[in-house]
Structure 1
Amino acid sequence: MSQTYKKKLIEVAIPLEAINAASAREKSIRHGHPSTLHLWWARRPLAACRAVLFAQLVDDPSEYADKLLDDPKIREKAEADLAIRLKAWRDRRPDVQGNVPDTPEPTLKDCAADIERKRLFEIIEELVLWENSTNEEVLERARAEIRRSCGGVLPPVYDPFSGGGSIPLEAQRLGLPAYGSDLNPVAVMIGKAMIEIPPKFKDMPPIHPGAKERSFYRNAEGLAEDVKYYGEWMREKAWERIGHLYPQVDLPKEYGSGKGTAIAWIWARTVPSPDPAYADVHVPITTSFMLSSKPGKEAWIEPKVDRTKKAIAFVAHNAGTKAEIAKAKEGTKAGRGANFRCLLSDSAITSEYVKKIAQSGGMGQMLIAVATEGKNGRVFVSPTADQETVAVDVERQRAPGIALPNHSQYVGVLGYGFETFGDLFSSRQLVALNSFSDLVEEVRAQILADAVAAGLPADAEPLRLGGLGAQGYADAVSVYLGFCVSKSADYWSNLCTWRSDPKNLGVGHVFARQAIPMVWDFAEANPFSKSSGNFLTSLDWIVRVVRELPSATSGEIRQVDAQSVEYPAGSVISTDPPYYDSIPYADISDFFYSWLRGTLRTTFPDQLNTIAVPKMEELVADRMRHGGADAAEAFFLTGMTSAIGRMCGHSSPDYPAAIYYAFKQSEVEQEGISSTGWATFLQAIMDAGYSVVGTWPVRTELANRTRASGSNALANSVVLVCRKKEAAAEVVTRAEFIRALKRELPPAIAELQAANIAPADMPQSAIGPGMGVFSRYKAVLESDDSPMSVKTALQLINRELDEYLGGIQGEFDADTRFAITWFEQHGMAKGDYGAADNLARARGISVESVKHAGIVESAAGKVRILARDELDDDWGPEADGHLTVWECLQHLVRKYEKDGISHETAVLLKKIDAKAEAVKDLAYCLYDISANKRKDAKEATAYNALIADWTELTRQAAAIHDTSGDRQIRLDI
């Protein structure tokens, strides 16, 4: 079947290591990162989105290799490369059956295309770096490549599940018309703030009084300056109105006496003592009495119990002994869950008792400490009656009335007396949030007046109708100020924690994870302090983001169900749909929606017109909403098939679609790569009319180890590259599909290995070529003529991958093959000599041979494989008369574990150069055994890490000409 389209780079190869490294690093970047504009869950890394979009749009060099060869320099290099590749192709090793791999003979065009791909890779490697996200020189180089491949006409990019807006934002950064949509109004508002508003006021100076004159304001810098000015105006007005509710604190004498500004008031929830003798006394239920665990500056709370007076007082200490600190860490907890002990009677406070009291309205709170800003850091002060009274005696103001969702998995406060989102805020917190909310409306009027005075047209056209005059500008600035209020709510809730660890000492926000957790001792932030949780910090985060937002092209974010999207003509689809049984973001985003609606409803009435976020239409398999697992799966499959079918029917045939799938580690651990969610999602894609032509595993999490890319963990996302299925697709039998799989999958896996895909990512990567075979057919029929399911196809692809990795073993030396089997059966433990002897004889060798090779220890009738730390420190491959692939790998892993990517590790790889490819193959093989058969995560991680850094090690090794220290040597081993 002839190809009717130009193949794009993403369909052939991408620099996955560079993309993954930049994506993982991005998680640690805060200042100016768009994710800090407003919280949204499960954002895709900007680096990955940028790289994927570029690779979707740029032609693969195989499409213009003939023209490349017209360049004498490229032809000369291609001819040199071809000579090397032809030799390797002729010398390719036979498999275990003696068959030579059926790979096509390399051509001059192949070599020219690879040279050009390397150039494109270098563009991507620069493009994905966070430091280059505003580098116009780097961005323009990428834009020029896109324009060249697109004939100068840039297609619109559409993300129908735009969420946090990463994909349309990066499309905009690359100069493409950017469109997105989402059903969730919180996501839509975030998208509008990031993508729609900045281009409308591009390069415009600020309008506030007293603005400094500058010759030029770039992009949204002027807008950002106004957001900062009017946000500070709001803060001052709020202080005038409610500042008296946040009184200063008397400092201890040892800290200079006088007054200090409170950072946070730390409260403990309380219940009546379960002991009848103290039933009229409320006692604290706390997880900890620690205030600071910073070495040398430990601070803690001492509860002073007076059983005679039936009273508990709390004393804050800014120093303590090890014993005092250890006891403070325990709080009043007594086991897991809501189980505590009574400070008065030491009797048990059970989870059932706490729930009973809470549901009857009997749970209270008491102030247990105050954190203040001292001259030399934090000072913790004992609570006073005045400090408690000023907070408790505040009249409760209007509160969000949306009922909390009945999702105990994600809403931990259920059963403890919390019924609405308004219950998640104390009286003083509600006063603060309402005061700042009201000020958004007031500041809009002030901005409007100042904008007219600054010369903007005094029209009455609002922002939502395209207004670019004074009214539109006032609306725009107020959007970001409304975000300040919503963002502050995350820190002004009675579910905020006090973080005592040295790195994060301060108020923690509610959504530290994608859930609403129950918090027993909470921190009430001071909106007017200079520490975590204050209003100006939220404002500063937002200003930093707005200042750096791209404004190269216009963008539009709509509120619409993905099944009803009207796509612009010729759209390129790049999207991150909801995960199969994802967290129901519609439920937990009501936390923010309540405040956004209160501040911005007049600005965007169409998006903020419902009482709560729409839920039933949210495209996730939610068992609670749909009455069970089967109904939820049917809802998801039907809806996702419809949504993706609409994409497929309206997207440009000139470009592949890129669809992200968010994996969960447990998904593979429990069910393998053919899990229900993954299979259901792929089924929806193929039922919609797409064929999967590639899969790229993208890592988006920063691992807690130096070599993050080498950790033995699953990639967090898979990017599926999809093309519309050919109309003339044929129907085949199961047997025909398996034959095609056996023919096409091995060379594809070999190419993935050559590209150094990490072993942990290989199952996901192999799905691409495997599903490419399956999805190109109209149907694959089982023996009973029923169509094969995607899940069955995935299982067959997995089986072929296992057979391929197992088949590699036949290519190793006999001693290595013995070691592989022995390791698979025994790991590093001892086994009987007789079994080892039989195994060795079957491979035409003896146990003594394996022992002589330095692989095993054999003594007292037992045999075991030597651990890496037992290997000869003075070993060198050039002097080893009995060299094996096993030894080369184990010595290389040991050196790598010790020194990482270093000159010493590269020298060793250079020395084993002739066996390097076999060593890499063995690392894949042993990873598979360690991870999937022996369940030895530590051993699997060692091999995964080495492969993850193989490209860099190979590059460094290639640059080494003298491995002896004083002379150049040749190795023939």
Structure 2
Amino acid sequence: MTEIKSPKKLIEVALPLDDINAAAAREKSIRHGHPSTLHLWWARRPLAAARAVLFAQLVNDPGYQRELGYGVNKQEAEKKREELFDIIRELVKWENTNNEAVLERARKAIWESWRETCHLNRNHPQAAELFDPEKLPAFHDPFAGGGAIPLEAQRLGMKAYASDLNPVAVMINKAMIEIPPKFAGRPPVGPLPADDPRQDDHMKDWSGARGLAEDVRRYGHWMRDEAFKRIGHLYPKVKITPEMVAERPDLKAYEGEELTVIAWIWARTVKSPNPAFSHVDVPLVRSFVLSSKKGKEAWVEPVIDADGYNFEVRLGKPPVGYTEGTVKRTGATCIISQTPMPFKYIRHEAKSGRMAAKLMAVIAEGTKGRVFISPSDQIGQIERIAAPDDVPETSLPDKALSFRVQEYGMLKHRDLFTPRQLVALTTFSDLVMEARERVIADAIAAGIADDGLGLDDGGSGPTAYGDAVSTYLALVLGRGADYWNSNATWEPSGGFVAHAFTRQAIPMIWDYAESSPFSNGSGNWEDTCLQWVVRVIQSFQSEIEGFSDQADAQNQGISHEKLISTDPPYYDNIGYADLSDFFYGWMRRTLKKIYSDLFATISVPKTDELIASPFRHGGAANAEEFFINGMSSALSNISNLGHPAFPVTIYYAFKQSETKEDKTVSPGWVSFLDAVVHSGFSIDGTWPIRTERGARSVGLGTNSLASSVVLVCRKRQSQARCISRRDLQRQLREEMPEALEDMIGGQTGQSPIAPVDLAQAAIGPGMAIYSKYEAVLNQDGSKMSVHDALVLINRAITEYLSPESGSFDADTQFCSGWFEQYGWSTGQYGTAETLAKAKGTSVDGVVEAGVLYATGGKVRLLRWNEFEEGWDPTTDARTPVWEACHHMIRRLNEEGESGAGELLAKMPDKGEPIRQLAYHLYTLCERKKWAEEARAYNELIASWPAIVEASHHIGHVNEQQGLGI
């Protein structure tokens, strides 16, 4: 059979990694209109990273002609590669997310590459099927999750398919890529609210999903008004009485007024363990502070009396020695008797049904900001009259990753909500379906032809439109559920209610905030829930089809002949199914009539979920085996189905506990690579995508590894053979130095990879060697494991960067060895002399070089800021690379990149060794957790391209002056 000619894609050769990482980091601070605010999902990939990876996965690397034997000018290839980098640099900027000029430039490059590939394969027997120059292949993400990758594929011009086993993820993807194109360009059908100031706005731009977004806003506003009619009495205002003013003169300005409540602050309670006070419900509180804003401080004081205690709000800073809270890491303390209450006691009380809640404070809206009010019996009892009905009765898992509440008697999801919150959620849930009927009627009245088909049946008329608006309103309700639960907390520094899922866990929360859907504070229906969803819908501009379906990645057939990029579960990091049950119950209650198949099960499917949960599989070993087997099966399916002209990109996200001394210690990473290799993929590259870095030096020493790694994979050749361990080691020695030089030197036209990223990026070329063979055989004939291969790859990286590699002078080898043992500290002269002789130098020689201080039998290395000022390498008879490197750091800090470039211009032959040494020293400092030292070396590498450019400019000027030009 004729072999498919598949040019290398840009992502297999080079990326402008710094630009992608900077944009991804910046995106974390973007909230309004960001798709992540449509509905909560855990560990979404940044849009910037997804967009850049997809583009680089689609376009041919400009040097591919040489790869296919056609010959190409290397300089011309690098120039064209830089043009593609420029596209990526613009593409990843948040403000260009919907910039059609930028997107069209990217789409044009994608089409050019696709037609080149089609031309190369025009004579292939499957050319008509696989290589239609007028039809770009479709995209599929089989682990679609939060939907960032399918959305960006659609934005780049591809028909997008998303699938996931989890119904909540399927709904999010429907809302992002499937529904908006169906109703693109349609004006809204709903009537404007009577109090809306835009009554005369008839010239609105309804392109994209703007009309759909407006209808969601209008019907959501109706829902709020209707809900208030039904349950507004459960959220009464607080009247400021003369008696309250007498106790709190600061309330005088509000005397007689009724203030809208933003939040009620509750403390969970258990009976006191002290027999003398066993009738008292004592509070479990992490902090009594209500406001820590300067000049607006407020706190709660438990006032103890003969009957027990009451909570009183105090203004100003708490006095010295006040009780910050009653719950610490080791347990709690009874505020009345000071009797310790270990968690074992609290858990027993809770499981026995004796955990309750007591109102600590009420926070209301005032004309001058937040008003903090002491609780009263009347205010505290209103919540008790709420009587929820028809509430989802799903059970919490017995045990699950990041769950803690079951040990405190919370066994059902409904236990995570107060009665008033349950009434609010059921009321708004019912109103979603009532709104649907109104939408259908209004759409028919607007003249839209009624095909009678719902959205799930492929309809596009009034019924389907009613389903679409209802889908988004259900997502609004999901945002409400994230705030209207007893795991939401009050944030005293910002003065707002924080939603429950600030991280991917359901921990035990002691004091919680109950927000009002009808206030103007955080957690309200109109602003916090509805408007955030509306902003996201407005950003959906694509008219290209998208599809979202429920499917198991191990046996789905959707990937057939499609480009694939995916973000699968990360071993045991996140229990998606268990967590999303929190939302699923409400989503199912609201939308089951519309999506009957999707919501057929009582809870989210878990048996086949590909995470390594020891709770489901009888221990860690069984969980790991399940994960490897299942992920291998899923990736094998992807490998067999995907379009052969493109590599597959797979994301893996690290958590901080997986890293130690610049290496990965969790089985998650190794198990994931195991699954990739066993699935029949070879790994051609590993690109670190970091989202935690606000600036080049921020975070060094605290988050040394990338938050995500993108693996670039190709299907392993069917004729792949086996090699020996010795052959692998030989190939690593021969091929890794060139690959590493490309990474740290930017030889392929890219910027050099920063030291903080090198440890992960360098795994790529090593794994490419290992994974292209059927197996690597040990001396006893057994197959080498991925773990053992990683050991050899990391050793090759270390050897290349080490001054012992032979690329460095003897003085530098001594300095490096001494630095590794002593840092900048003092050591014995005799020890130093022994080391110096072993390296082929002497202590006196290193002192003469100007980098070592020796006196009184003690020696230490000089810091870069102690080096000689005004140093000129052209007049220095002894210039080790160590000295040159640290003079460069000094010059960079004092005079910037131009000053460092001027210095480099005087010693161009030292450039490569300086850079290599900086990489080595950075790695060493990271391993030893010397953050400040690591920062200096990372800054030098990060600035290297600008330094080199400055040195070339100075060299050119000097050359012209020498020629008298």
Q: Quick check: TM above 0.5? A: yes
> Which residue, 409, 417, 432 being the options, matches 2:424?
432
> Which residue, 132, 142, 146 being the options, matches 1:160?
142
String of CA shifts for 1:83-125, please: whole Å, max 9, x gaps. xxxxxxxxxxxxxxxxxxxxxxxx9621111111001110011
Tell me by how many angstroms 1:385 deviates: 1.3
Question: 1:91-106, aligned counterparts within 5 Å?
Answer: none
> Which residue, 306, 312, 336 being the options, matches 1:344?
336
Asked if 1:788 is matched to 2:779, the reply is no
SS class of match (1:786): coil
Question: Distance between the aligned counterparts of 1:903 and 1:656, measured in 2?
Answer: 40
SS class of match (1:436): helix
SS class of match (1:811): coil
1:72 corresponds to: none
2:123 corresponds to: none
Asked if 1:506 is matched to 2:496, the reply is yes
Shift in alpha-carbon separation, 1:736–1:461, aligned structure 2, 3 A: same
Asked if 1:41 is matched to 2:23, the reply is no
- Greater CA deviation, 419-428 or 851-860? 851-860
> Which residue, 763, 766, 770 being the options, matches 1:770?
766
Asked if 1:332 is matched to 2:326, the reply is yes
1:217 corresponds to: 206
- Greater CA deviation, 761-770 or 876-885? 876-885
> Which residue, 417, 431, 452 being the options, matches 2:444?
452
Tell me by how many angstroms 1:913 deviates: 5.0
Q: Structure 2 counterpart of 1:538, which letter?
A: C
Contact 1:20 1:709 (8 Å CA) reproduced: no
SS class of match (2:926): helix
1:234 corresponds to: 223
SS class of match (1:818): helix
1:145 corresponds to: 109
String of CA shifts for 1:585-625, please: whole Å, max 9, x gaps. 10111001011111111111111111000011101111110
Question: Distance between the aligned counterparts of 2:902 and 2:701, measured in 1?
Answer: 20
2:296 corresponds to: 297
Shift in alpha-carbon separation, 1:906–1:359, aligned structure 2, 3 A: farther
Question: Distance between the aligned counterparts of 1:959 and 1:392, measured in 2?
Answer: 76
Question: Distance between the aligned counterparts of 2:293 and 2:285, measured in 1?
Answer: 20
1:391 corresponds to: 383
Asked if 1:318 is matched to 2:292, the reply is no
Question: 1:627-776, aligned counterparts within 5 Å?
Answer: 627-669=618-660, 672-673=663-664, 676-702=667-693, 707=698, 713-755=704-746, 756-776=752-772
Question: 1:905-924, aligned counterparts within 5 Å?
Answer: 913-924=908-919
SS class of match (2:302): strand
String of CA shifts for 1:409-464, please: whole Å, max 9, x gaps. 51121211111010000011111111111100111111111111112112311011
Question: 1:334-733, aligned counterparts within 5 Å?
Answer: 335-337=328-330, 339-407=331-399, 409-501=401-493, 504-536=494-526, 537-567=528-558, 569-669=560-660, 672-673=663-664, 676-702=667-693, 707=698, 713-733=704-724
Question: Distance between the aligned counterparts of 2:260 and 2:902, measured in 1?
Answer: 59
> Which residue, 826, 829, 832 being the options, matches 2:825?
829
Shift in alpha-carbon separation, 1:3–1:230, aligned structure 2, 3 A: closer
Tell me by how many angstroms 1:299 deviates: 0.9
1:248 corresponds to: 237
SS class of match (1:415): helix
Tell me by how many angstroms 1:136 deviates: 0.2
What value does the CA root-mean-square deviation take over the aligned residues?
A: 2.6
Contact 1:21 1:709 (8 Å CA) reproduced: no
Question: Distance between the aligned counterparts of 1:623 and 1:550, measured in 2?
Answer: 43
2:185 corresponds to: 203
2:127 corresponds to: none
Question: Distance between the aligned counterparts of 2:902 and 2:530, measured in 1?
Answer: 52
String of CA shifts for 1:736-773, please: whole Å, max 9, x gaps. 22212211111111111113212232222122111111
- Greater CA deviation, 762-771 or 125-134? 762-771
Shift in alpha-carbon separation, 1:825–1:961, aligned structure 2, 3 A: same
Question: Distance between the aligned counterparts of 2:31 and 2:532, measured in 1?
Answer: 9
Q: Structure 2 counterpart of 1:283, which letter?
A: V
Tell me by how many angstroms 1:717 deviates: 1.5
Q: Structure 2 counterpart of 1:828, which letter?
A: W
Question: Distance between the aligned counterparts of 2:801 and 2:220, measured in 1?
Answer: 60
Tell me by how many angstroms 1:54 deviates: 0.8
Shift in alpha-carbon separation, 1:460–1:630, aligned structure 2, 3 A: same
SS class of match (1:513): coil
Tell me by how many angstroms 1:902 deviates: 6.1
Contact 2:697 2:935 (8 Å CA) reproduced: no
Shift in alpha-carbon separation, 1:706–1:841, aligned structure 2, 3 A: closer
Q: Structure 1 counterpart of 2:269, which letter?
A: T
Question: Distance between the aligned counterparts of 1:453 and 1:876, measured in 2?
Answer: 84
Tell me by how many angstroms 1:854 deviates: 2.9
SS class of match (1:530): coil
Question: 1:57-76, aligned counterparts within 5 Å?
Answer: 57-64=58-65
Tell me by how many angstroms 1:818 deviates: 1.8
SS class of match (2:660): helix
Q: Structure 1 counterpart of 2:683, which letter?
A: V
Tell me by how many angstroms 1:179 deviates: 0.7
2:807 corresponds to: 811
Contact 1:173 1:552 (8 Å CA) reproduced: no
Contact 2:697 2:938 (8 Å CA) reproduced: no
Query: What's the % identity of the aligned pairs?
Result: 49
User: How many residue pairs were aligned?
Assistant: 920
Question: Distance between the aligned counterparts of 2:761 and 2:957, measured in 1?
Answer: 35
Question: Distance between the aligned counterparts of 2:294 and 2:956, measured in 1?
Answer: 49
Tell me by how many angstroms 1:947 deviates: 2.2
String of CA shifts for 1:56-103, please: whole Å, max 9, x gaps. 11111112479999xxxxxxxxxxxxxxxxxxxxxxxxxxxxxxxxxx
- Greater CA deviation, 229-238 or 563-572? 563-572
1:942 corresponds to: 936
Q: Structure 1 counterpart of 2:557, which letter?
A: E
SS class of match (1:636): helix
Q: Structure 2 counterpart of 1:42, which letter?
A: A
String of CA shifts for 1:639-683, please: whole Å, max 9, x gaps. 111111111111111111111122233323189347532222222
Shift in alpha-carbon separation, 1:416–1:673, aligned structure 2, 3 A: closer
Shift in alpha-carbon separation, 1:161–1:952, aligned structure 2, 3 A: farther
1:847 corresponds to: 843
Shift in alpha-carbon separation, 1:805–1:62, aligned structure 2, 3 A: same
Tell me by how many angstroms 1:963 deviates: 11
Question: Distance between the aligned counterparts of 1:647 and 1:38, measured in 2?
Answer: 28
Q: Structure 2 counterpart of 1:410, which letter?
A: S
Tell me by how many angstroms 1:780 deviates: 1.7
Tell me by how many angstroms 1:138 deviates: 0.1
Question: Distance between the aligned counterparts of 1:595 and 1:467, measured in 2?
Answer: 25
Tell me by how many angstroms 1:470 deviates: 0.8
2:281 corresponds to: 282
Contact 1:674 1:795 (8 Å CA) reproduced: no
Contact 2:515 2:524 (8 Å CA) reproduced: yes
String of CA shifts for 1:194-232, please: whole Å, max 9, x gaps. 010000011111112247322642211111111111111
String of CA shifts for 1:488-518, please: whole Å, max 9, x gaps. 11100011111112xx321111111100011
Question: Distance between the aligned counterparts of 1:235 and 1:769, measured in 2?
Answer: 57
Question: Distance between the aligned counterparts of 1:706 and 1:693, measured in 2?
Answer: 29
Structure 2 portions without partners, runs of 5+: 116-132, 193-198, 747-751
Contact 2:573 2:655 (8 Å CA) reproduced: no
Tell me by how many angstroms 1:583 deviates: 1.8
SS class of match (1:438): helix
Contact 1:737 1:780 (8 Å CA) reproduced: yes
Contact 2:213 2:537 (8 Å CA) reproduced: yes
Q: Structure 2 counterpart of 1:270, which letter?
A: T
